[in-house]
Structure 1
Amino acid sequence: MSAPNDSTPPEVARDRAGGQPLLELRDLHTDIALRRGTVHALDGVGLTVLPGETLGIVGESGSGKTMTALSIMGLLPPGGEVTGGQILFEGRDLRSLPRDQVRRIRGVRMGMVFQDPLTSLNPTMRIGAQVAEPLRVHEGVGRAAARERAIEILRRVGMPRPDRIVDNYPHELSGGMRQRVAIAMALVCSPRLLIADEPTTALDVTTQRQILELIDDLREEFGMAVVLVTHDLGVIAGRADRVAVMYAGRVVETAATGELFRSPRHRYTEALMEALPESAIRDEGEHARLYSIPGLPPDLSRPLTGCRFAPRCRYVTDECRSTEVTLTGTGHQHACLHPVAVADPVLRTAAEPVTGSTATPAEAVPVAPSTTAPVAAAPVASDADAGPAPILSVRDLVKNYPAGGGGLLRRATGEVSAVAGVSFEVRPGETFGLVGESGCGKSTVGRLVVGLERPSAGQIVLDGTDLSTLAGRDRRRMHRQVQLMFQDSYAAMNPRMRVDAILAEPLEIQQVGDGAARRARITSLLDQVGLSRRVLERYPHEFSGGQLQRIGLARSLALQPRLIVGDEPVSALDVSIQAQVLNLMQDLQSELGLAYVFISHDLSVVDYMADRIGVMYLGKLVEVGPAREVVRAARHPYTQALIDAVPSVSPEPQARREGLTIRGELPSALNPPTGCRFRTRCPLAAEICETEPPLAGDVHQVACHFPLRPESAAATAGAGAAR
């Protein structure tokens, strides 16, 4: 892909300069009819996509970005209807064309990649049949020819062994492979426009980078335009030519990517940037408090006046509440009466007071590698070993699962090595971050620590007691001290129970206090997590994602634990809600002296939250050390590759950042590689890595025969390529 804005290929530039837009939305209105009323999901959206360019659409959940994509593709949910405006594709209004003609245009000339490929793929159909289906339906291609073209397109999207994959079912593939299948389905008819709706939200950073680079490459190969829909500002900064920021069903700012990230004008865009963890991490390693956008987006089923962001804006005036604001300007357009001044810094600290807001009480609260011989990993000076005795000590933890069993007549054919000799400590009041790709074993470690799984070997020592040796009442009593905060709070709650029963349940199971004491404890919990007492009579489906995570955090606090394991607790949240939850977790840590094991695939979040970080790969810890040293002076090639893969918001975004890139899929834990488990994907691997497991160091531990030297980590990519 070309770098946004500045290095557009000449042939694409000529098409843009001389031709009409490939896609143009004019005053688009979309309504969703519900029992409680009509939701005006889109209210006058105007967008333009030029041939060969990538347009990024960004905003919080409910902003209308996905509804815009579904309106273009004619895939609105039940009750949805485009009620006004035009959808011009290649100069023709799709709303005025016969249905059969529109169906063919949308099936052949447009393609769409959905957010969750597992739910968008048919679980009963083989991969080849699903990829070939658009060819057979829209182009009348025969079965054999369609299969061959399906294999070819799967090969072009980087699918390993496509001639075998075509006979697999979706559940047999990894998340990254399923996303490649979804991309192949969208591209098999060679469309001119590809709409990608949150294509990497559920993927870890290395797979995300592979998928985004694949879309970049295919855009150039097919000469198509891309509409990239996401809530991740880093993805937009690194990939899009132009950006449209949406809020409450409208476009509130649009500009070339570099211009928007150098100088955002709308106060909503500014607030989104200030909510990012990277904006609160200073050069000295100190953290400022994340800015948290107060309140919630407006209810689009009700009449709205004035600026729709006014109830949540720090700079709101009476004029904002009463005046309809439309996009103004040329090139860089915004709909704000009090825009950010051009001279203002792009990212300010979030410590300034919030004024004029009307927060909703239920939601808001105030190196170069060695190339000759392996070297020992030298410990990095640190004071990480000072301080109180650990509250948690995990020693040589092992968890294996039988593979191939599951019935009386089916014997296990092997073992899945999910966790293989993991050791770490957590001290009182400390946050230990655990990061790695999906399938690395980090969530299994969390489940072992809280007692949802029993280890195959090793020790989990909590306050001097080995939990793996306890049973019955003793085990249950000790596990009051450690609780789990789930990734999906809604799935972890009984949908038939009200919040009061959900919060009371752990107290009742552990027989803590009488009815009056439990009610008092529940009231105290709501105060701690910033929720109104009115929520007690409501059910889980009545809450937003941020509110559900607050309820989940309250439940984990019910038994007054000393340690909370957070398993991807903010991965499914918008950046603004993520900031609220992270701030709340840090406030409670300071107030209650909590310790956290914070599990995530997002290194920027872990860098913000953690005191120390452990990096996992295929069941093993490959690097452990103080957070600042691990992120800024990584010693293991895998850690450096994770850091290089993290999307970053920068005033000067680059299409591709140099650095270590991990290629290929994670090896099977059923038959992990010998020696160093990372060697099959490591650009620095040598013969010794195949036979001898690497040894860790001391304070800053690194399990690598060829650890990176901190002073020259920036040269890793070039050295790795030459190796």
Structure 2
Amino acid sequence: MSAPTDSTDRSRPLLELRHVSTDIALRKGTVHALADINLEVQAGQVLGVVGESGSGKTMTALSVMGLLPAGGSVVGGEILFDGRDLRSLPPEEVRRIRGVEMGMVFQDPFTSLNPTMRIGAQVAEPLRVHQGVGKAAARDQAIEILRRVGMPRPDKIVDDYPHQLSGGMRQRVVIAMALVCSPRLLIADEPTTALDVTTQRQILDLIDDLRDEFGMALVLVTHDLGVIASRADRVAVMYAGRVVETAATADLFRAPRHRYTEALMQSLPEAADHDTGAKGRLYSIPGLPPDLSRPPTGCRFAPRCRFATAECRTTEVVLSTGDHQHACLHPVTVPAPAPISLRPGPAVVPTPAPALGVREPGERAPKAPAILSIRGLVKNYEAAGGALRRATGQVSAVAGVSFEVHPGETLGLVGESGCGKSTVGRLAVGLEVPTEGQIVLDGTDIATLDRRERRLMRRQVQLMFQDSYAAMNPRMRVDAILAEPLQIQHVGDASARRARVTTLLDQVGLSRRVLERYPHEFSGGQLQRLGLARSLALQPRLIVGDEPVSALDVSIQAQVLNLMRDLQHELGLAYVFISHDLSVVDYMSDRIGVMYLGKLVEVGPAHEVVRSARHPYTQALIDAVPSVDPNAVTRRTDTTIRGELPSALSPPSGCRFRTRCPLATETCATTEPPLTGDVHQVACHFPLRVESAEAARA
């Protein structure tokens, strides 16, 4: 399969949106999803489109592709592809362009794939439909494009079904489907949102390589500012269905002009470290985006803007002219300092007094007796296969993990998907029974308790779920949802429970008027506040947060993280904070434990683990984190992880990381390294020294 012949007129954009407006008709009104959008993408260029959920990013992509939801239509403007207005072309011509010259990668690869079709048939389908390629030839081309996107054993994968693949492999499949006809434009809608940082890095590197190979233009839609900063040539920032700022990437991140862009960047955990020299509060954008069925007059960001005036609320603001365009009456006039990336060298920054309840980096929590002590924790699951579902082996989910959590302390657990961190969390709260080891909670080994005794101990430790909506009964109102743990544990009478519920709402910053509402009536950030409130109902001493902010925009994420830290100080809580986002874990944690394939490979103070990593896996995680620093260059270092996580059914001998480690030797294959050290522990035969870790970043 050869690269396409480029017939594009280089004097004009490959894709241009002129004054595009899109509406979605509903039974009770019309949502004005896009209003007067002007964008352009040159051949070979990467345009990043960024903004909060509901800003119009995905709706812009769907308008270009002609894949709007029911009731949706482009009601104004032109969508020009290589000079041709897609709105004026016959439907069959638009389908041909959409299938051959444009491709799209959707956010959720699992729902984008047909669960009843084999992978090969799905990848080959565009060739057969749009180019009339025969079945055998289409299969061969499907295998070839799967090989190009880095799929292991593509000749075998073509006969598998989507459920048999990992998340990263499914994402490679949908990329292969988008590229199989060699398009000139690729639209990627949140292609890495659900992936951990190493898989995200692999997918983004893959898209870069294929873009260079095919000479494609790319529209990268995401709410991850770091991904945009490290991958895009130009950026368009969207808010409430409008483009509010657009500029070259380096210019925008070095000196944002619109107050919304500035607020997004100040919401990042990195910004808090940079601004205060300590782990201070994150800036949180107040309020919510407007209801686009009734768009406000004037600047749509004005109700949430710190700098808004009466003029902002009445005057329609249009994009300024020039290379760096913005739609703001009171723009940022002084260039903002570049944020610190997660690959910092020594820096000299002012060190003010810490905020109330906030420890300085490196300052350890007081060594009171541990609330939770995990010793030699092992969890194996029986694997079954065949028609009779007979046991075929054991999945080693957790293998000999030990750590402690002290009062008022946050221990962060970080690692790739499948490393065992969520299993550790479920074991810690008594939702799973360990195969071996001890889980000592306030001096009692809960692993030895029966079901009733574990339920009573659960008052002391609670779980905060990643998806709060899925964790709530959709048929119950908020008052019943928050009162349920009190009823199950027989705490107080009805009057005392009602009083406790209202106290919980006050603690998490929600109005008491929400008591009569159902879960589907809340935003993502409000649901996470409810999830936190429910976990606080029984006044626990320890909360295990399993990816509690991974699905949230940066502005809502900042609100939840600030709330968790405030409550920790107010109530003396301890946290086990589980996440694959190293920047969030660094911000929240006093200590960090890094997990790989069921084992802890590094444990230490948060600032040391992130800035002076000792294990090659930890360094690879750090190097994979995209930075919003415009001076940081994304490159493939010697510690870049390649390949898929090994199967937990048959973990590698010796060091489990050795099959993906650039520093592995024969010793690593034969001898398992113990976790050694005092404050900063590492399980590696050849740990990185501080100077070598810095050299890997250079």
TM-score tier by shorter-chain length is: over 0.9
Q: Which residue of 2 aligns with 1:678?
A: 657
Distance in 1 (alpha carbons) for counterparts of 2:666 and 2:254: 46
* Aligned equivalent of 1:80, options 72, 79, 83: 72
* Aligned equivalent of 1:554, options 519, 533, 542: 533
Q: Which residue of 1 aligns with 2:378?
A: 398
Distance in 2 (alpha carbons) for counterparts of 1:303 and 1:437: 41
Q: TM-score, normalised by structure 1?
A: 0.91
1:612-659: CA deviation from partner (whole Å, max 9, x where unpaired): 000000000000001011001000000000000001101325343645
Distance in 2 (alpha carbons) for counterparts of 1:614 and 1:209: 21
1:190-210: CA deviation from partner (whole Å, max 9, x where unpaired): 000000000000000000000
Q: Which residue of 2 aligns with 1:590?
A: 569
Please state whether the residue corresponding to 1:281 is helix, strand or coil.
Answer: helix
Q: Which residue of 1 aligns with 2:358?
A: none
Distance in 2 (alpha carbons) for counterparts of 1:70 and 1:175: 23
Please state whether the residue corresponding to 2:39 is helix, strand or coil.
Answer: strand
Amino acid at match of 1:516: S
1:584-606: CA deviation from partner (whole Å, max 9, x where unpaired): 00000000000000000000000
Judge conservation of contact 1:396–1:457 (CA < 8 Å) in 2.
Answer: yes
Deviation at 1:516, TM superposition (A): 0.3
Q: Which residue of 2 aligns with 1:130?
A: 122
Q: Which residue of 2 aligns with 1:203?
A: 195
Unaligned runs of at least 5 residues, structure 2: 341-348, 352-360
Amino acid at match of 1:112: M
Deviation at 1:286, TM superposition (A): 1.6
Distance in 1 (alpha carbons) for counterparts of 2:276 and 2:402: 29
Q: Which residue of 2 aligns with 1:526?
A: 505
Q: Which residue of 1 aligns with 2:325?
A: 333
Deviation at 1:716, TM superposition (A): 3.5
Distance in 1 (alpha carbons) for counterparts of 2:152 and 2:369: 48
* Aligned equivalent of 2:695, options 703, 709, 715: 715
Q: Which residue of 1 aligns with 2:425?
A: 446
Amino acid at match of 2:296: L
Distance in 2 (alpha carbons) for counterparts of 1:406 and 1:266: 59
Distance in 2 (alpha carbons) for counterparts of 1:241 and 1:717: 23
Q: Does 1:142 align with 2:134?
A: yes
Deviation at 1:715, TM superposition (A): 2.1
Judge conservation of contact 1:21–1:51 (CA < 8 Å) in 2.
Answer: yes
Provide the aligned C-alpha RMSD in A.
2.0
Q: Which residue of 2 aligns with 1:221?
A: 213
Distance in 1 (alpha carbons) for counterparts of 2:488 and 2:529: 21
1:513-552: CA deviation from partner (whole Å, max 9, x where unpaired): 0000000000000000000011111111111000000000
Deviation at 1:476, TM superposition (A): 1.1
Distance in 1 (alpha carbons) for counterparts of 2:500 and 2:169: 47
Unaligned runs of at least 5 residues, structure 1: 1-10, 352-380, 719-723
* Aligned equivalent of 1:581, options 560, 565, 583: 560
Please state whether the residue corresponding to 1:480 is helix, strand or coil.
Answer: coil
Please state whether the residue corresponding to 2:87 is helix, strand or coil.
Answer: helix
Judge conservation of contact 1:659–1:714 (CA < 8 Å) in 2.
Answer: no
Distance in 1 (alpha carbons) for counterparts of 2:451 and 2:151: 48
What are the residue-to-residue correspondences of 1:435-474 with 2, within 5 Å? 435-474=414-453
* Aligned equivalent of 1:158, options 147, 150, 168: 150
What are the residue-to-residue correspondences of 1:316-715 with 2, within 5 Å? 316-345=308-337, 384=364, 387-404=367-384, 409-656=388-635, 658=637, 660-697=639-676, 698-715=678-695
Q: Which residue of 2 aligns with 1:23?
A: 15
Please state whether the residue corresponding to 2:376 is helix, strand or coil.
Answer: strand
Distance in 1 (alpha carbons) for counterparts of 2:292 and 2:107: 23
Judge conservation of contact 2:377–2:438 (CA < 8 Å) in 1.
Answer: yes
CA gap of 1:114–1:332, structure 2 versus 1, over 3 A, is same
Tell me which of the two structures has the higher relative contact order, counting C-alpha pairs closer than 8 angstroms and 6 or more residues apart.
1
Deviation at 1:188, TM superposition (A): 0.2
CA gap of 1:474–1:544, structure 2 versus 1, over 3 A, is same
Q: Which residue of 2 aligns with 1:119?
A: 111
**Which stretch of the first structure deviates more once superposed, 383-392 or 227-236?**
383-392
Judge conservation of contact 2:172–2:203 (CA < 8 Å) in 1.
Answer: yes
CA gap of 1:406–1:475, structure 2 versus 1, over 3 A, is farther
1:268-307: CA deviation from partner (whole Å, max 9, x where unpaired): 0000000000111149962121000000000000142010
Distance in 1 (alpha carbons) for counterparts of 2:365 and 2:476: 45
Deviation at 1:33, TM superposition (A): 1.2
Please state whether the residue corresponding to 1:149 is helix, strand or coil.
Answer: helix
1:444-488: CA deviation from partner (whole Å, max 9, x where unpaired): 000111111111110000000000111133221111100000000
Distance in 1 (alpha carbons) for counterparts of 2:389 and 2:80: 58
Distance in 1 (alpha carbons) for counterparts of 2:20 and 2:57: 12
Please state whether the residue corresponding to 1:388 is helix, strand or coil.
Answer: coil
Distance in 1 (alpha carbons) for counterparts of 2:335 and 2:539: 48
Deviation at 1:677, TM superposition (A): 0.1
Aligned-pair identity (%)? 79
1:535-572: CA deviation from partner (whole Å, max 9, x where unpaired): 11111111100000000000000000000000000000
Deviation at 1:34, TM superposition (A): 1.6
Q: TM-score, normalised by structure 2?
A: 0.94
1:326-371: CA deviation from partner (whole Å, max 9, x where unpaired): 000200000000000044545699x9xxxxxxxxxxxxxxxxxxxx
Q: Which residue of 1 aligns with 2:183?
A: 191
Q: Which residue of 1 aligns with 2:227?
A: 235
Please state whether the residue corresponding to 2:662 is helix, strand or coil.
Answer: coil
Q: Does 1:279 align with 2:258?
A: no
Distance in 2 (alpha carbons) for counterparts of 1:346 and 1:685: 36
Distance in 1 (alpha carbons) for counterparts of 2:261 and 2:236: 10
1:79-105: CA deviation from partner (whole Å, max 9, x where unpaired): 111111110001000000000011100
